[in-house]
Amino acid sequence: MTITERFLKYVSFTTTSDENTKMTPSTPGQLVFAQYLLEELKSIGLQEVDLDKNGYVMATLPANTNKNVPTIGFISHMDTSPDMSGRNVKPRIVNNYDGNDILLNDEKVIVLETEKYPEILQYKGQDIIVTDGTTLLGADDKAGLAEIVSAMEYLIAHPEIKHGKIRIGFTPDEEIGQGADHFDVQKFGAEWAYTMDGGEIGELEYENFNAATAKITFQGLNVHPGYAKHKMLNSMRVAQQFASMLPRHETPEHTEKYEGFYHLVGMEGTVEKSSLTYIIRDHDRDRFDRRKKEVQHLVNKINAEFEENTATLEMRDQYYNMREKVEPVMHIVDLAFKAMEAVGVKPNVKPIRGGTDGARLSFEGLPCPNIFAGGHNFHGRFEYVPVQSMEKAMMVIVNIVSILEAQ
């Protein structure tokens, strides 16, 4: 099976995660996909293939060398983002892309425009897998899955490529921040690993946001509007006031690179009770802590202006910047750098404006930089992945293990 065939098979599974179910995996489709992967990994010849009760898949490619080589791992996630439907994905391959706009859906007139997405022009002449414009594609992270499985199959077919013991792990629910919740680092048994979960070709990342979520609930008092003077407290207006107190340009649409933000991701409300849900992000731990303190400060200001407990805050940290755990073992980043160069890929070391399973795993004792999976425009209808980028990512995996054995 080619990597393209494998990827197209994977995106046929509906694996959208859902943070509201309180289950692991959060949706049944992920478990169906995990069971498929379980059988596929057995069929290509991997050993110690295991699917646990929480939907985590692990497997081993045994060493084929007598050298004392560290055991390393490769990890990807099985779920797709709930930001857009991942059901009935209808991928299409645009062979020998000509550099023009791509009509994704004739009936709905959905067009992937080069003016809006100029990055696609660098893939002129390549084969690009796109959606039909009604769903996301699922390259995040089924491209990563296909690359890892295809790399293992390639190594099995080429025993002349010497390598140490390799562990692979596939996780559920990464897109809702729960991918590492039940990942058994000790059972995985690797000295370090790489998540194949980055974007365009060449991306190599060992820095990510520090992340927290904050939900502010506003309690109001409803009175008939005809008789409400000096009595009513409209919780939606208080929520609106709170939102306006945050820096208006410190939002995702106004920030880039190492700039952090406050991002309003949910709002509900009636006169009597309303809530705002934010995610808070910053690469720098001190700035991250100041952002959290600012949210608490603004909650206190609301309560000082209105009645006590008009606003209540629930806030929790989600993950931290893996840089502080990876920097002491930078040789693992250098190894990935060399592997990219060996296959003609120019490494693009950059911070992740988000997070991966690897961020949390790094703090659990498994340093875990992130390598490109090749896709663009994740989580939406204009998602695409060049076939050649997936092929290069597969060979980066192969070269990581071969270079490590040769050292």
**Could you confirm whether 174 is annotated as catalytic?**
yes
Q: Which residues pair with 384 in a beta bridge?
A: 130, 376
Report the DSSP beta bridge partners of residue 368: none
Question: 88: phi > 0 → left, psi -120 to 50 → alpha, else beta; which?
Answer: left
- Tokens read off for 210: 């520090």
The one catalytic residue in 40, 79, 132, 203 is 79
**DSSP SS3 for 204:** strand
Strands (E), 253-353: 261-269, 273-282, 311-319, 348-349
Give the integer Cα–Cα distance in Å for 336 and 399.
8
In angstroms, the CA 80 to CA 143 distance is 11
Report whether 156 contacts 148 (CB < 8 A): no
135 neighbors 84 (Cβ within 8 angstroms): yes
Q: Which two tokens stand for residue 159?
A: 């025993």
From the candidates 174, 197, 207, 391, give the one annotated as an active-site residue.
174
Q: Indicate which residues carry an active-site annotation.
A: 79, 174
